[in-house]
Each structure stands twice: as structure tokens, then as C-alpha cells.
Structure 1
Amino acid sequence: MLFGHGDDFYNSQSEIKINFSSNVWHGANLDKLKVNLIEQFDKLTRYPEPDAAQLKRLLARRYEIKENNLVVTNGSITAFYLLAQAWKGAKSMIAVPSFAEYEDACRLHGHEVSFFSTSDDLAELSLEGQDFCWICNPNNPDGRLIHRTELLSLIAANRQTKFIVDQAYVAFTTEDMLKPTDIYNHENLIIVQSISKAYNIPGLRIGYLIASPAIIEEVNKYIIPWSVNAVAIEASKYILIHPAQFTLPIRKWQRETAEFIYQLSKLDGLEVIPTATTFFLVRLKKGTAADLKQYLLSKYGILIRDASNFRGLDETYIRLSTQKSDENQELVNAMKEWLEQQ
């Protein structure tokens, strides 16, 4: 889905003043990171390590795992395509609605694809004959969350199936999530995470997958040398070495999200879907997501995510990521105005 994602900032013909469409932490202070990258500029005159070894070492130390449990990738999305490629023709079951690239990666590499709903009772889920189960947790686009104990029980009960758990939004909740060390008790678990979401650097494209050495060895057969560039490596190293500079105030952001949802819920003509994160779905009871998106963009310079292209959703769904309080209120006012015109 090359052009089917949320943040189509690059494609807008109008000035975008507020961006609700991208699920990243908007308040990250990148000043010191910027200075560091300028100081590291000369590294662009040399090839980076073929496998981002220094960054891998830092990640292993942070998560108390071994380096042979890690693959650093050009964004977490690359990890999905590598996994699908390494097991061409496998049988994959995907939770929906969710990130479209799981399905796209699987179909590109000849997987037999089936689906289950994120609202299904996991205890009743049948994975017989399935090679892979793909789960986004917390889930994009609805912010639904499977608690760690429930997810580990599912993984333990289906050892014949490899579970690819996308934790790109692990920093966007205070709930108990899978830990990298969980792979030692569950060899069929693959955790994929992103460095960019919590630090507002999605343009750098940096992510990683964590799994057993056997799985890592298979994935490494398909890694392209130098697939992670020097700027992304240096930025990620700086963030890992200076974590205090990049603390995401998740509880404050959650309070702002709760207030945002409360204000939206007072509007006639829409339904806010409950979430465990700082982003959420809204179902329009009148009008379409495409029309609302165009209205907000052309009149107010506000960009939202038309969520109609998520499998399982339709043209009435939008996704919003909480911004600053005054910006949230500006969107509430603009949506109220639009709804009154429908």
C-alpha cells in the first residue's frame, strides 16, 4: 500500500497547520539531537556498518538480550517484508482492522492469507495449520490492546504458529506489554518495534525485530547490506545513550486524550471508539471521511486520517492522534461546524 498511509503531508496541496493523521509523539524536543547529527555529519562520507552492529549492541544492552536476537531494519515495515520473504508461501492469519502492510507483505511473497477480528475472543481463536499470526499491539488504527498475560497464553497454546507482534506503539500506553526477554520462553514469538514513533523521527526509518537466534538467522539471509543509513544509526544511538532527553510524558498525553475524546463525544453525529492509547477511531454517523478530510484541510489546514482503506472499516471512519490541547479544541470546533452542515 505505497500511498495508502495516514501521514500524506507530502501530498497535500494546502498548507497543513495541525497534523492529526500521524501516530507519533508530537512534543519531542529534537534540538540536541539536531546538534549531534550535525557533529556526526562527516560520517556520511563513509559507509555505515553493513548490519548496524553498534546500534544492535546498544539495543541488546538496553533490553538485556543477546545481539543474535536482533535485526535492525530500515523502519519496522522492512521487518514485516523480510519475515514474509524468509517464509515464502506460508499460511498467515492477520488480525484486522490493522496495518495494511502485513497483508501486502504476505501477498507479495505468496502467503495464503486469512483474517480474524481484533474484537474476537482470543481463547476461541483457532490457529491450526497457520504458520504465522500477525498482531499489532497496541493496535493501529483503533488503539485496542491485548494484555501481556492474555497474549502470552495464546502464544504458549499455539507453539506451532509463529507470532509476529508489532509493538510500534508500545510507548503510547501504560499497560503491561510484551518484554523482549519473553522470546526466551516463547521461541515462536517475534517482536517488532520502532524507534521513530516515540521520538517524532519517522522520516529516519529505523526499527528492529527481536526473536530466537534460529529466526534471526533465517531473516538475515535476506538482509540487504547497508540497508540502514548512517544518519538513522547515529540518531538512534544518541537517543539510546541519552534516554532522559526523550522522555515521553505518557500519562499527561493520556489525560489530554481523555479530554479530547470527551469533547468529541459531546458532538452529535459521531461515535468515538474506546482506545487504550493516544490515538483512536471516530465513526461518522453522517457524511464521509473523505469529505470531512477535504473540508478540514482546505478550510483550516487540519489533516486527519481517512481510515476507510483499513480492511474491516468503511468510508465513515477517521483516525485521530491527540495533539496539543488548543489544537484538539480547534479540531472539535471545526468538526462541529462540518457536522452541522450535513
Structure 2
Amino acid sequence: MIYGHGDDGYRYNIPFKANFSSNIWHEGTSKKILSHLEQQLPLISNYPTPNADVLTQKVAEFHRLNSSQVLITNGATEAFYNITSVFWGKKAAIGIPTFSEYEDACNKSVLKIRYYDRSEVVNISFTEDLVFLCNPNNPNGLSNSVSEIEKLVKGFPNTMFVVDEAYIDFTFKIESCVSLLERYTNLIIVKSLTKLFSIPGLRLGYILCSPQIGKKLQQSKMPWSVNTLAIEAGKFIFENYKDLLPDMTILLGYCKKLQQQVNAIKGLTVIPSQTNYFLVQLEKPDASSLKDYLAHTHHLLIRDASNFRGLDQHYIRIASQSPEKNELLVNALQQWSILP
């Protein structure tokens, strides 16, 4: 899906007051990161290292893994296409509703797909070669514990589980599954730096896995896929991780209050989430028209969630912003709810 994701403000010639469509850190990119990148601009006159070696080592040290277990990618999305290319022509299972790029990556590598209910993953048997599991899930924030995922990985040793942890830092409900890599080789973890540190334009993610699968993924990966500024941003982040880490307690508090306010509006039902984003079910199938109304009338951008497989025009997704911006959205939704 090239088009249809969140943050599609480029489709509107509108000076938006607030963007609720993209699940990234709401305060924007750290000034420290921006300042560092300004100093690195002269480096763009040279090619980046083909495999982002220095950054690879920093990520490995951060997660207490070997560098052979790390693969830096051009955002998490490249990781999914890289993974499916290794499983060309085989079978995959995808829990829905979820991020659409799993499906697109599978289709590109001619994998036969079985869709399952994401909420029932712990009760399902898998015979597929590859299983995709977004944790916490996009778009509804649904999550599974490390012990639940370990049960799956242990119970189906012939299946490779791809756990997408792009939003793991946006919740306190669960922990990362990185510790499982020590005991299981049929686990691939995909992570993203773009959401937490608000650098989606740089495209920076990485894969954590066993050395065996890491070697196969490396062989299928395109060289120089990660640009110099993205590599430099990643190095700076891992060198200053604690200082740059946003205070998620604050944002999750904002989101909890926003969910309560939206749920109190007639015709809107919030599907509770313990992340910074959540789904809203509309009484009437008006997702597209509501999005356009908010954009053109109030200069606010939300995510029409109807193009998630398993959802329809009854669903929108909202990512919390600051209290002031959240109030703009609540007031706009209240006005929309009383329109004739």
C-alpha cells in the first residue's frame, strides 16, 4: 500500500492545526538530534557504509546481542519485504486488523496468506512458514505478553514468528520479546526508531534475529539501503539513548483522558487502548466523510481506518497529541456529532 497509510496531509492543501493520524511522538524531533544532523550534512557527499556497520554494533550492544543478530533497515517496512523475500513462494499467516505492509510484502514474494483474528492468536494453531504479529498491534493497541509469545514460538518450532515491536515503547502493558532470542531461532523481531524519536522522514528500523536467519536476510538485502543521515541519527540516538528517550508517562496520560472524552460523544465508541493511539467505532459508516469534515472545517487530520483488512467505514484511528490539541479534536467531534 503506497498510499492509504496515516499522515497523508500531503493530499490536502491545508495548514493543519494538529495531526492525529500518525502514531509518533507528539512533540516532534528532538532539537539535539536535529542539531547533530546539521553537523553531519557534509557527509552526504560520500556513500554510506553498505551495511551500517557502526550502527549495527551499537544496536547489538544496546540489546546485548551479537552483531550477526542485527540488520539495519530503511524503516521497519523494508524489514518486512526483506523477510518475505527469504520465504519466497511459501505460506504466511497475518493477524487482522493490522499493518497492511505485511500483506503487501507477502504478495510481492508470492506467499499464500491465511488471515486470522489478531485477538485470538494464542488460541490458534499454525502450520505456515511465517506468522506476522504486531505487538502492540496497529491500529487497536492489542498486545500479548512475552510468555504468551514464547508459548507460540515454542509450540510451533517449524514456523518463523515475525514480531513487529514498532510501538513497544508506546505502552507500559508489555515488554519486548528480545530476551527470547537467546532460546529460540524461529523468532524475528522488527523494531523502529522513527516513531519514538519522531524521525519518520529518515526511515530507520532494524531486525533482531538468530545469526542463522540474519545471514540469510543479509544475503537478500540491498546494499546502501540506509542513507548516511539515518545512520548518523541512529548512532547518536544509541549513544544518548537515556537523554533522548521521551517521557511516555505523560503522553499515555493525555491519551487516557482523550479516550474518555471521545467515548462520551454521541455516536462514537472508543475501543480502549493502552498505547498512544486507539480505534473509534462510529455509529454510522462515516469514516471518510468525518475525516474530510475535520480536515476542511477544523484543519485537523485523523486516520480513516476503513482500509485496514477486517475494518470498514465505521472506524477511525486517533493518536493522542498535547492536551491543547486534543481539546481541539474533542470540540470538533462534538460539533460533528450534532450535525443534521
**Bin of the TM-score, shorter chain as denominator length:** over 0.9
% same residue: 38
* Structure 2 SS opposite 1:208: strand
1:1-342 equivalences in 2 (<5 Å): 1-28=1-28, 30-120=30-120, 122=122, 124-128=123-127, 130-342=128-340
Conservation of the 8 A alpha-carbon contact between 1:138 and 1:167: yes
In structure 2, distance between residues paired with 1:280 and 1:145: 13
Conservation of the 8 A alpha-carbon contact between 1:267 and 1:336: yes
Instruction: Give every structure 1 segment of 4 or more consecutive aligned residues whose post-TM-superposition deviation is greater than 3 Å.
Output: none
Conservation of the 8 A alpha-carbon contact between 1:28 and 1:246: no
What is the aligned residue count?
A: 340
Q: What is the aligned-residue RMSD (CA, Å)?
A: 1.1
Q: Which amino acid aligns with 1:325?
A: P
Conservation of the 8 A alpha-carbon contact between 1:281 and 1:320: yes
Q: Which runs of 5+ in 1 are unaligned?
A: none
In structure 2, distance between residues paired with 1:181 and 1:47: 34
Q: Which amino acid aligns with 2:313?
A: E
Conservation of the 8 A alpha-carbon contact between 1:306 and 1:317: yes
In structure 1, distance between residues paired with 2:36 and 2:121: 47
Conservation of the 8 A alpha-carbon contact between 2:269 and 2:281: yes
Q: Which amino acid aligns with 1:9?
A: G
In structure 2, distance between residues paired with 1:80 and 1:121: 20
In structure 1, distance between residues paired with 2:261 and 2:40: 45
In structure 2, distance between residues paired with 1:200 and 1:119: 28
In structure 1, distance between residues paired with 2:121 and 2:204: 33
Deviations 1:2-61 (A, max 9, x none): 001011022222221100000000124521212211111221111111000000010011
Give the superposition deviation at 1:242. 1.1
Give the superposition deviation at 1:309. 0.2
Give the superposition deviation at 1:245. 3.0
Deviations 1:250-275 (A, max 9, x none): 12211111110111111110110011
Conservation of the 8 A alpha-carbon contact between 2:168 and 2:174: no
* Structure 1 SS opposite 2:281: strand
Conservation of the 8 A alpha-carbon contact between 1:286 and 1:339: no
In structure 1, distance between residues paired with 2:133 and 2:279: 18
Question: Structure 2 vs 1, CA of residues 29 and 7 (structure 1 numbering), >3 Å: closer, same or farther?
Answer: closer
In structure 2, distance between residues paired with 1:14 and 1:253: 26
Conservation of the 8 A alpha-carbon contact between 1:137 and 1:144: yes
Give the superposition deviation at 1:303. 0.3
Structure 1 length-normalised TM: 0.97
* Structure 1 SS opposite 2:252: helix
* Structure 1 SS opposite 2:72: strand
Deviations 1:111-142 (A, max 9, x none): 010011112161x20102x1011000000000
Give the superposition deviation at 1:191. 0.1
* Structure 2 SS opposite 1:25: coil
In structure 1, distance between residues paired with 2:121 and 2:63: 31
* Structure 2 SS opposite 1:296: helix
Q: Which runs of 5+ in 2 are unaligned?
A: none
